[in-house]
Structure 1
Amino acid sequence: MLAMFMAAIEATIVSTAMPAIVSELGGFSLYSWIFSSYLLMNAVTVLIYGKLSDLFGRKPVLMVGIVIFLIGSLLCGLASSMEMLIAARFVQGFGAGAVMPIASTIVGDIYTKEERAKIQGYLSSVWGISAIMGPAIGGLLVEFVSWRFIFWINIPLGILAIIGLSLFLHEGITRKKQQIDYGGAALLFLSISSLMVILVEGGVHWAWNSAAILGLSAVTFFSFFSFILYERKVSEPMMPFYLWKERSILIANLTSLSTGVMLIGISTFLPTFVQGVMEQKPIVAGFALTTMSIGWPIAAIISGRLLLKIGFRTTSLIGGVALVAGSTIFLTLSPDDGPIWAAFGSFIVGIGMGMTTTSFIVSIQSTVSWQIRGVATATNMFMRTLGSTIGAALLGGVLNTRLINYLESKGVEGELNIDSTTTLLDQSKRSGLTEEAKVILQDGLTFALNSVYWVVFAFAIVSFMLIFFLPKKEY
């Protein structure tokens, strides 16, 4: 729970502080890379850590992941440019890949099938605590100290988690000869990273029909195709495709991919809207996002009880309805609605996430044996992280492209550009803008974010439709 708290509080604190970070370091066009770099390494390593935990046990792998995460956190706080911060986030994401899946897998190991649903719900309460503390601490640190401390606060938490694991987690492991799928990891990294560059830079710095985009598209296709072929031949694949033959796992993983896009779309861009367009303080923007992480654990606890009564398919369908309802609120969000309405939409999406993720984890862990539980759990979390990775790049690209289109339609592209939006995120810089420039930038940001939320809404519909295909049998 300590390790999960560290990872959970990271999500809400960074999103709250991002406007302040961009305001100081500049480079609004690189905004989505702060999330994409972290998520890319998280996505690529999560399956490797899951496999390593099946080979060597959960304890040593989780502890190594925490140490790498802390090194990355230290470097993030020392960054003096957006490029340095992005590089440090790569390191942080490399460690983060171990934390969430292995912590969830440990619960699957310790508790029986009957206890698991309830305990997974309790474990999700960590998100509630971090949701309340994260934006509050983040907002206060940004306003009164420095955004750098939002990364450094991880260090004491990580040290406490390592001490706790050392003292209290005891496991008897039959060690096997390790066969780590480094080739699969390299091919996956190449395919995802090239796809991310296409989604972020296409139509912004490079034309869609440029040689760079076409070349990267070819790299993406061939590396992903090679990854699938390679994984089918290797003896210990990082992505065991035989797991996907189980229908409940297939649907859970595909739905997690689509909800991952939704999750990053709201958590990344909501604070920007509340601060830049609604002109609210960082702490208010943080609390607008907080409600998602409050709704998540509440729904997870309820979900844990519902699973035993109505089954995971019906529970997941309730979550799917909440995802569609919440994304509809964001679709209709305007500057006049205020942060309370934005917070309500965030809360409803959190309800949907809590219902679906708990159902998926419990059903997957009930389907497989201990020997593959680590990689099975990690596969589901990989799909959600992959969704967030692709979503951060895709939605960042949509935001940048639509913002450029709006500025061009107003004929001010020579005076204002994407990075001019940075001035909206700092109160002192915003007051230095002319009224006309401020209105154009705020209207442009609203226009661009509305396009982002249309994409989020589309993925909510896809998630709901996928859930219908879950098998009706219960575990």
Structure 2
Amino acid sequence: MAQQQADAKAVTPPGGVAGEVGEQRPTRSPREIRLVMIGLVITMMLAMLDNLIVGTAMPTIVGDLHGANHLSWVVTSYTLATAAATPIWGKLGDLYGRKGTFLTSIVIFLIGSALAGLSQNMNEMIAFRALQGLGAGGLMVGVMSIMGALVSPRERGKYQGMFAAVMAIATVGGPLLGGFITDHFSWHWIFYINLPLGAVALAVVMITLHLPKVRSTARVDYAGAALLTIGITSLVLITTWGGTQYAWGSKHIIGLIVLAAASLIGFCYVEARVKEPMLPLSLFRNRDFTVVSIIGFIVGFQMFGGVTFLPQYQQIVQNASATNSGLLLMPMMFGMLVVSLVVGQVVTKTGKYRIFPIVGTVVMGAGSLLLSTMGVGTTRLTSGLFMALLGAGMGFLMQITMLVAQNSVELKDMGVASSTATLFRTIGGSFGVALFGAIYTNHLKDTLTQKLAGAPGAGGQLDGADQMTPAKLRTLPAPVQDAFHHAVSNGIHSVFVWAALISLVSVVAALFLKGTPLRGAGKAAGAEKPEGSDMAAMAH
């Protein structure tokens, strides 16, 4: 009790923010940290599972709600709200306390989940998914920034391996769980399942998490928040609509590009002048922070972009079922999990990390290059080995990028550093899906045009190429199936060739990391110097 009271005392530093500027982290026993981690892990699971579970249920949902024409908006509304809210949650946590803002984001997410499960039409579903997204924007940021406040950077590696395991389990288990719930219960339970998990996370965090109270006299940067939201929203809409709903050269896309550029320029102008900016531009003066932001963007590009199209290859070319295609991704997730756990332990013991981003970017690029060689005759064993290599590369990078971002800032900026790292990865994934989607579709149709030229009924097959399902394809004549197999293989080849080329950017960026030693002792989480003294020493 005495320790908790000591934790709750607020110290008001210069600048008006109490309790988290340059102070020493309260000493935590391993048991206290493990208890808090239970709530954080459950929350991480909520954030990771939601889109993965919902994705497999979407055909049933849009069928029941008679809204197939608005399918994309169910996803887009959630993505937009999450991307726009992420940096705002991070800053609010820095200003007004991480525990309160984290609990608020969970509550908003759970309210959105309950309402989405009660939806009676597509308009309600889209609106409630947006509400869910607003809460979801604070889940991942809250988890990472709270862990940053509890544990020193050097000790953080072993805990982040736990989160890597959650990501891997969610990625593989999410689609399987979503299909099972939809088939055996009802799509409504896709959303209701969040409620008991969220309730447990709320209770654990409320009871076990004790952070210094924060009192801030700073005003919220509403102008910066509005401009950043407009800029992010425009970017997400560009990547979502460009080349699909609207041509890249259409007035809609050009208008969004102009709006994004104007709002982001305005955002930079405002942030350079306000007292308490939403996203301090000074963070990017730290070379390591800038480098890992670039690497995080490319990791998102690779992970959400390239990996999105692997199930297409597995189901159409390798004749895997939808369920089995999820299982076939396990080599990649296993590679990511094992490497992330090992790297976390090594970083904790040595306090050094610079070699891992360099090795990780090289391995990730090599994995992409090998995946680009897959063809019609590639076996599942071979493709599994290639995916394992790609996963290993990501395992070197997934947690290290967040760790370095947090190590590059003072404790008072932990939330905004975490949200910025998350934001770059999210935007990278959005750009990756859009760019790789355009590349994949163009090569798919070009190959089909060549293979089916002059064949009876070829025009109909070409028009529906982007809507071809594995089940429907198996009912078509053998020449048409062969054409689709080659077309999908060529599309995948092009996607991963570009992914390998883009990886070169991350390799070059990783070479510029300074490798500043991680703060904190390697033996005891609580035995560390005050955050401010470390930063002062680093400055010299």
Q: Same fold (TM over 0.5)?
A: yes
User: Which aligned pairs between 1:126-165 and structure 2 lie closer than 5 A?
Assistant: 126-131=166-171, 133-141=173-181, 144-145=184-185, 149-165=189-205
Match of 1:451 in 2: 494
Match of 1:224 in 2: 264
Q: Does 1:171 align with 2:211?
A: yes
Q: Are residues 15 and 117 of structure 1, via their aligned partners in 2, closer, same or farther at CA, if it must alter by over 3 Å?
A: same
TM-superposed CA distance for 1:453, in Å, is 2.4
502, 505, 511: which one pairs with 1:468? 511
Match of 1:279 in 2: 319
Tell me how far apart the structure 2 counterparts of residues 26 and 446 of structure 1 sit (CA, whole Å): 34
Q: Is the Cα contact below 8 Å between 1:313 and 1:471 reproduced in 2?
A: yes
User: Which aligned pairs between 1:262-411 and structure 2 lie closer than 5 A?
Assistant: 262-307=302-347, 308-309=349-350, 311-406=352-447, 410=452
Q: Is the Cα contact below 8 Å between 2:52 and 2:175 reproduced in 1?
A: yes
Per-residue displacement from partner, 1:29-67 (whole Å, max 9, x unpaired)? 988776555443322211111111112222221222223
Q: Are residues 240 and 457 of structure 1, via their aligned partners in 2, closer, same or farther at CA, if it must alter by over 3 Å?
A: same
The amino acid across from 1:250 in the alignment is T
SS in 1 for 2:405: helix
Q: Which deviates more, 175-184 or 98-107?
A: 175-184
Q: Are residues 142 and 438 of structure 1, via their aligned partners in 2, closer, same or farther at CA, if it must alter by over 3 Å?
A: farther
The amino acid across from 1:424 in the alignment is T
- Percent identity for Structure 1 against Structure 2: 32
Q: Does 1:184 align with 2:227?
A: no
Q: Does 1:415 align with 2:430?
A: no
Tell me how far apart the structure 2 counterparts of residues 380 and 202 of structure 1 sit (CA, whole Å): 25
Per-residue displacement from partner, 1:314-366 (whole Å, max 9, x unpaired)? 12222222211221232122343244444433333332222223223233333
Q: Does 1:106 align with 2:146?
A: yes
Q: Are residues 255 and 80 of structure 1, via their aligned partners in 2, closer, same or farther at CA, if it must alter by over 3 Å?
A: farther
Q: Is the Cα contact below 8 Å between 2:306 and 2:433 reproduced in 1?
A: no
Tell me how far apart the structure 1 counterparts of residues 252 and 42 of structure 2 sit (CA, whole Å): 44
TM-superposed CA distance for 1:375, in Å, is 1.1
Q: Are residues 256 and 341 of structure 1, via their aligned partners in 2, closer, same or farther at CA, if it must alter by over 3 Å?
A: same
Q: Which deviates more, 77-86 or 340-349?
A: 77-86
Q: Which deviates more, 409-418 or 211-220?
A: 409-418
The TM-score with structure 1 as length reference comes to 0.86
Tell me how far apart the structure 2 counterparts of residues 416 and 158 of structure 1 sit (CA, whole Å): 46
More helix, by proportion: 1
TM-superposed CA distance for 1:302, in Å, is 1.1
The amino acid across from 1:422 in the alignment is Q
Q: Does 1:3 align with 2:26?
A: no
Q: Does 1:259 align with 2:299?
A: yes
Q: Which deviates more, 188-197 or 274-283?
A: 188-197
SS in 1 for 2:354: helix
Q: Is the Cα contact below 8 Å between 1:59 and 1:169 reproduced in 2?
A: yes
Per-residue displacement from partner, 1:7-32 (whole Å, max 9, x unpaired)? 23335545666788799999999887
Tell me how far apart the structure 1 counterparts of residues 308 and 210 of structure 2 sit (CA, whole Å): 38
TM-superposed CA distance for 1:212, in Å, is 3.0
Tell me how far apart the structure 1 counterparts of residues 375 and 122 of structure 2 sit (CA, whole Å): 30
TM-superposed CA distance for 1:466, in Å, is 1.0
The amino acid across from 2:46 in the alignment is M
Q: Is the Cα contact below 8 Å between 2:178 and 2:190 reproduced in 1?
A: yes
194, 208, 212: which one pairs with 2:252? 212
The amino acid across from 2:235 in the alignment is L
Q: Is the Cα contact below 8 Å between 1:39 and 1:386 reproduced in 2?
A: no
Total equivalences in the alignment: 473
SS in 2 for 1:124: helix
Q: Is the Cα contact below 8 Å between 1:58 and 1:102 reproduced in 2?
A: yes
SS in 2 for 1:462: helix
Q: Is the Cα contact below 8 Å between 2:47 and 2:136 reproduced in 1?
A: yes
Q: Which deviates more, 432-441 or 453-462?
A: 432-441
Q: Are residues 43 and 200 of structure 1, via their aligned partners in 2, closer, same or farther at CA, if it must alter by over 3 Å?
A: closer
Tell me how far apart the structure 2 counterparts of residues 23 and 270 of structure 1 sit (CA, whole Å): 26
TM-superposed CA distance for 1:165, in Å, is 1.4
Q: Which deviates more, 429-438 or 326-335?
A: 429-438
The amino acid across from 1:329 in the alignment is L
The TM-score with structure 2 as length reference comes to 0.77
TM-superposed CA distance for 1:208, in Å, is 3.7
TM-superposed CA distance for 1:78, in Å, is 6.2
Q: Is the Cα contact below 8 Å between 1:296 and 1:353 reproduced in 2?
A: yes
Q: Is the Cα contact below 8 Å between 2:234 and 2:256 reproduced in 1?
A: yes
Match of 1:235 in 2: 275
Q: Is the Cα contact below 8 Å between 2:234 and 2:260 reproduced in 1?
A: yes
SS in 1 for 2:210: coil
Tell me how far apart the structure 1 counterparts of residues 428 and 120 of structure 2 sit (CA, whole Å): 29
Q: Is the Cα contact below 8 Å between 1:51 and 1:375 reproduced in 2?
A: yes
Match of 2:469 in 1: 424
Q: Are residues 21 and 120 of structure 1, via their aligned partners in 2, closer, same or farther at CA, if it must alter by over 3 Å?
A: same
Q: Are residues 463 and 281 of structure 1, via their aligned partners in 2, closer, same or farther at CA, if it must alter by over 3 Å?
A: same
TM-superposed CA distance for 1:2, in Å, is 1.0
The structure that has the greater radius of gyration is 2
TM-superposed CA distance for 1:117, in Å, is 2.3
Q: Are residues 205 and 131 of structure 1, via their aligned partners in 2, closer, same or farther at CA, if it must alter by over 3 Å?
A: closer
Q: Are residues 270 and 154 of structure 1, via their aligned partners in 2, closer, same or farther at CA, if it must alter by over 3 Å?
A: farther
Q: Which deviates more, 438-447 or 265-274?
A: 438-447
Unaligned runs of 5+ in 1: none
Per-residue displacement from partner, 1:261-287 (whole Å, max 9, x unpaired)? 111113422223322443322221112
SS in 1 for 2:272: helix
Tell me how far apart the structure 2 counterparts of residues 249 and 143 of structure 1 sit (CA, whole Å): 45
Tell me how far apart the structure 2 counterparts of residues 18 and 64 of structure 1 sit (CA, whole Å): 28
User: Which aligned pairs between 1:27-38 and structure 2 lie closer than 5 A?
Assistant: 37-38=77-78
TM-superposed CA distance for 1:467, in Å, is 0.6
Per-residue displacement from partner, 1:378-414 (whole Å, max 9, x unpaired)? 2111111121122233333333444454555556785
Q: Is the Cα contact below 8 Å between 1:139 and 1:282 reproduced in 2?
A: no
